[in-house]
Amino acid sequence: MRAKLPFFQTTILANFAQTGVVVFSLPRLLSENMGTNGWVALLVCSSVAALNLLLISLVYRLSRGKSIFEISQSVLPKFILVPFFVVLAGLWAILGSLVGKQYILILKSLSFPSLHPAYLYILFEILVFLLLTKGIMSISSTAVLAFYVIIWNTSLLVYIYDDFELSRMTTFWFKDATHSFKGWLEIYIAFLGFELCLLLFPYTNEKTHLIRAFQIANLITTFTYTLGAFISFGFFSLHQLQHMKYPVLSLLSYVELPFVKRIDDLVFNITLFRVLITNVFYGWAAIETMKWLLPASNKRWLPYVIFVIFPLTALFVIPSTLEKTEKWLSLFGFSEAGVAFLLPIFLLVILLINKYRGRNYA
């Protein structure tokens, strides 16, 4: 009998899966892609994510909590599903690894300019691997502990109030930017992570309130993103935002506290906990998929050995420069956005076929 995730832990885990390093560069992405008052685009993307979660909730209700592997195998033969889930496992593993690599490269540029990033990245992946071996219950408990460590970050924006001016936002909406589908996708992928709740079906029951937990987490993420972006648009001009790499870090550098000299460095360093949970959650999803792909293996460590290949791929195959890593991360993020929409639709079609055949899940 599997242990079931509690509601509070699930909510925090979902929030950590969504929120990551992108929060520091989000105002720039909004100013480049949406223009003036671009922070409003976050409300649109949040609504799309909420609708995407409604699709997943339909899958959850119709399947009555069965795993996505059981649902898929009820209609399609395994030789068709194996390549599909191999690709998904690879996508989730590399995406999680790239999130970790991006953070390490930024940390290296800020605090360890003379150190090769491979050393930091290997140490980081050791933490990821150790947490992965403990299972989803320990991962969610760790997320709660990390939440209590970093919950105070948002309150620091109060210190910016004196220099905040609404006039910097102008009265124009979505001006001075090239609006494109790719630009909207760049904003939307900041909300990704919620789709991993598809892998949590077997670890939940009616007390978990899985979809409610992820919807609440989406609201928390929306509030965090919107607050940071709104204050950034009122603190910097549009031109400044478009030429800053990480506007939120620049914003925090103006905060002066008597007991901390560089609050921006402190905030970015403890963001390690968020990035760690995000990386681990994607890695856990990949390993769960590998365990289904290798059911006959009596070597419980085999999926973990295979998983090691993906962080090594992210480290050595993808160039170790921040610009190229972010381009690869965007590419995999676009792919994951497609998975977030298409995988629930794929599962819904299978469930409707089963319902047509008179086969319901007990």
Torsion of CA 131, 134, 138, 139, to 10 degrees: 40
Angle of CA points 191, 193, 195, to nearest 5°: 110
Query: Which residues of the chain fall short of a pLDDT of 70?
Result: 1-2, 296-299, 358-362
Per-residue exposure over 33-66, b if at least 16 CB sit within 10 Å of its own CB, e if not: bbbbbbbbbbeebbebbbebbebbbbbbebbebb
Predicted pLDDT at 359 = 64
Residue type, 352: L
181-209 core/surface letters (b: 16 or more CB in 10 A; e: else): eebbbbbbbbbbbbbbbbbbbbbbeeebb
Across the strands, what pairs with 257? 260
Q: Cα dist. 76→60, 173, 200, 352 in Å?
A: 19, 48, 21, 14
pTM as predicted: 0.93
The pLDDT assigned to 296 comes to: 66
- Residues 320 and 326: their CA atoms lie apart, in Å, by 10
- Report how far residue 86's alpha carbon sits from residue 286's, in angstroms, rounded to the nearest whole number: 9
* Tokens 């079931």, located at residue: 4
In this prediction, residue 199 carries a pLDDT of 94
DSSP H or E stretch at residue 268: helix 263-270
- Please write the tens of the pLDDT for every residue from 304-335: 777 788 888 887 777 778 888 889 999 999 99
CA 278 – CA 274 distance, rounded (Å): 6
Distance, in Å, from the CA atom of 2 to the CA atom of 337, rounded to the nearest integer, reads 30
The structural domains of the chain, ordered by start, are 7-351 (1.20.1740.10)
Distance (Å, whole) CA 2 – CA 112? 43
Residue 361: what pLDDT? Answer: 54
Which tokens in the block code for residue 39?
């922070």
Q: Which of 33, 204, 25 is nearest to 103 (CA)?
A: 25
Dihedral angle, C-alpha 155, 156, 162, 168, nearest 10 °: -90
